[in-house]
């Protein structure tokens, strides 16, 4: 598939409805990219580096994910997630908060994880990464009064997701724990939105979305057997939300076609 041609054609069709940024790679080469280093408001994509931080520290023996954290019922932030609804329970483990942060994009879980690690500590850790200039964690979730925003680029989002999944591949006993919330992601209306996992059991899709006023983002891995493709699709100045999702779904369909074709080609060569 000629990804540059495909993304250019999609841009012509969808550009009246939003401004898009994308970065697509098979992990070996860049297949297509546009404005991939531009920083935009991250929304919930900012949860990915927090997720990576905790699992990296846990695998290094510096954090015990079974540690229990008290989450007071009072003043839990709303928006996406369920903790603000589950008021009968105040104690959660760090790993439960991590799962909630990714699978249901829970804002309160995210803020508890930022508080436990320390905002400054997270910022210092991010500064050590190669993608540090393409992700900016500046505040807690829903803290609009702070006057600052969290930002991410399309390439930065992909790079972080790549690091998360590479971490799981280092030790088999961690792989399922790390991948589970991404595989069980409840927000599938973006890049995976046109693909029915029940009808495509070989295809694995791991994604994280980000949504707020005027922005719709998604970053995902498409895995078919051992063929992988990463897609970062960010939008801003969105005029029609449905068109932003339609664009992402078109990218997702092409991602599936790419990994499936690569798998078939591998089988042909090995036959």
- CB of 158 within 8 A of CB of 25? yes
Give residue 266's pLDDT.
Answer: 85
Share the mean pLDDT of the chain. Answer: 95
User: What are the pLDDT digits (tens) for 63-77?
Assistant: 999 999 999 988 898
Asked if pLDDT for residue 175 goes beyond 90, the answer is: yes
Asked if pLDDT for residue 78 goes beyond 90, the answer is: no
Give residue 207's pLDDT.
Answer: 97
Q: Is 247 exposed, middle or buried (0-12, 13-18, 19+ CB in 10 A)?
A: buried
User: What are the pLDDT digits (tens) for 229-266?
Assistant: 999 999 999 999 999 999 999 999 999 999 999 999 88
CA nearest neighbour of 112 among 125, 124, 99: 99
User: What are the pLDDT digits (tens) for 79-89?
Assistant: 888 898 888 89
**CA 46 remoteness from chain centre:** 8
Asked if pLDDT for residue 181 goes beyond 90, the answer is: yes
Asked if pLDDT for residue 271 goes beyond 80, the answer is: no
Question: What does residue 249 show for φ and ψ, rounded to 5 degrees?
Answer: -65, -35
Alpha helices in the chain (DSSP H): 3-14, 47-59, 94-103, 107-117, 119-126, 154-170, 172-183, 241-270
Mean pLDDT of 2-10: 98
Reported as a pLDDT band with limits 50, 70 and 90, residue 267 is confident
15 vs 142, higher pLDDT:
15
């Amino acid at each position: 598939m000629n990804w540059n041609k495909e993304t250019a054609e999609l841009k012509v069709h969808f550009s009246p409805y939003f401004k898009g940024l994308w970065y697509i790679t098979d992990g070996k080469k860049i297949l297509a990219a546009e404005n991939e280093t531009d920083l935009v408001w991250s929304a919930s994509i900012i949860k990915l580096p927090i997720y990576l931080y905790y699992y990296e520290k846990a695998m290094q023996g510096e954090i015990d994910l079974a540690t229990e954290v008290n989450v007071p019922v009072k003043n839990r932030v709303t928006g996406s997630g369920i903790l603000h609804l589950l008021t009968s329970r105040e104690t959660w483990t760090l790993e439960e908060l991590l799962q909630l942060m990714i699978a249901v994009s829970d804002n309160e879980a995210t803020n508890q994880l930022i508080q436990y690690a320390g905002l400054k500590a997270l910022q210092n850790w991010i500064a050590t990464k190669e993608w540090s200039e393409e992700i900016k964690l500046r505040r807690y979730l829903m803290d609009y009064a702070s006057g600052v925003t969290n930002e991410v680029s399309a390439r930065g989002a992909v790079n972080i997701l790549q690091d998360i999944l590479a971490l799981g591949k280092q030790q088999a006993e961690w792989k399922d724990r790390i991948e589970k919330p991404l595989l069980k992601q409840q927000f599938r209306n973006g890049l995976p939105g046109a693909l029915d996992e029940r009808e495509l059991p070989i295809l694995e899709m791991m994604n994280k979305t980000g949504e707020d006023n005027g922005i719709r983002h998604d970053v995902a891995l498409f895995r078919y057997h051992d063929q992988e493709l990463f897609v970062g699709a960010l939008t801003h100045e969105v005029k029609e939300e449905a068109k932003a999702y339609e664009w992402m779904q078109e990218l997702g369909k092409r991602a599936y076609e790419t990994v499936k074709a690569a798998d078939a080609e591998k089988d042909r060569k090995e036959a």
